[in-house]
């Protein structure tokens, strides 16, 4: 029952952000600790049922947002950003074994912070992932997907 309440709360938070299927309720968003920009960031690979996916140095799953693909810039701000926090870096980005450093760059957000990008996709967390390597945001509203080592969205 607790799990069901959690899922319903996540869907409600997404509905508030305009990032979930229609019909969700609208309580206040779930608070989940997400990392702030630090002196550096780490992106590495983790095995999952979806294949190898990108995670940060604490094994939190990273996502790409379909609307960002064409511009290669972040389009997730305001309520969307509260539910899908960006992976920020303030300094050097470190990439793990099996990843091509040349595929990574940063994009400047409207507040001047630097968001990590692989290929066409700025990277985000999902507030509904409460533990390392969870991927509860996979496929949300057919626009949020985990990202593979090749910089492509998995399952799109």
pLDDT at res. 11: 45
How many degrees, rounded to 5, is the angle at CA 47 between CA 37 and CA 91?
Answer: 20
Query: Tens digit of pLDDT for each residue in 47-104?
Result: 999 999 999 999 999 999 999 999 999 999 999 999 999 999 998 999 999 999 999 9
Q: Domain map of the chain by residue range?
A: 38-146
User: Contact 95/149 with Cβ under 8 angstroms?
Assistant: no
Global pTM? 0.79
Residue 127 near residue 10, CB atoms below 8 Å? yes
Question: Which tens digit of pLDDT belongs to each residue from 145-154?
Answer: 999 999 999 9
């Amino acid at each position: 029952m607790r799990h069901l309440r959690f899922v319903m709360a996540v869907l409600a938070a997404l509905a508030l952000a305009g990032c979930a299927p229609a019909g969700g309720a609208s309580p206040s968003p779930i608070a989940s600790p997400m990392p702030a920009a630090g002196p550096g960031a780490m992106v590495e690979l983790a095995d999952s049922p979806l294949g190898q996916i990108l995670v940060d140095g604490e094994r939190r799953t990273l996502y790409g947002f379909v609307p960002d693909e064409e511009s290669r810039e972040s389009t997730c701000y305001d309520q969307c950003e509260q539910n899908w926090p960006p992976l920020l870096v303030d300094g050097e980005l470190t990439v793990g074994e099996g990843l091509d450093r040349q595929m990574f760059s940063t994009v400047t957000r409207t507040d001047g912070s630097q968001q990590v990008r692989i290929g066409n996709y700025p990277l985000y967390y999902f507030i509904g992932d409460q533990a390392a390597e969870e991927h509860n945001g996979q496929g949300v509203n057919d626009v949020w997907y985990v990202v593979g080592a090749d910089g492509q969205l998995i399952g799109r």
